[in-house]
Amino acid sequence: MITAKNYQVEVGHAAVWVNADTGECIGRFGLYGVDVHRRIGDQGALGECLKCTHERTTAADWKIFQDAMMEHHGVDLSHLSPPSFVK
């Protein structure tokens, strides 16, 4: 597991972004998908995605995103409510 001790969470109207201390996006939860990515230095032959979907997101996807961010990056998002666009 890669732990991001310093990260920034940005909650917007269309997405929740999680950026690592280096500024790279390690997670995004949007209306039409979940993206949890490896850090750039770890991508190499393994690729970018750790947990990605490309369909309209649901409340279940929000939980999947929270769990994947904790599992892969040590980022705790349990204190956040689902974005307003989640039905």
Can you read off the two tokens belonging to residue 49? 């995605």
- Provide the residue ranges of all domains of the chain, joining segments of one domain with +: 7-72
Contact assessment for residue 17 and residue 27, using Cβ atoms and an 8 Å cutoff: yes
The reported pLDDT for the residue numbered 1 is 37
For the chain, 87 residues long, the average pLDDT of each consecutive 10-residue run is 68 90 93 93 86 94 96 92 87
- What predicted TM-score, i.e. pTM, was given to this entire model? 0.87
The reported pLDDT for the residue numbered 12 is 84
Can you read off the two tokens belonging to residue 81? 């409510």
How far is it, in rounded angstroms, from Cα 64 to Cα 70?
10
The reported pLDDT for the residue numbered 2 is 42
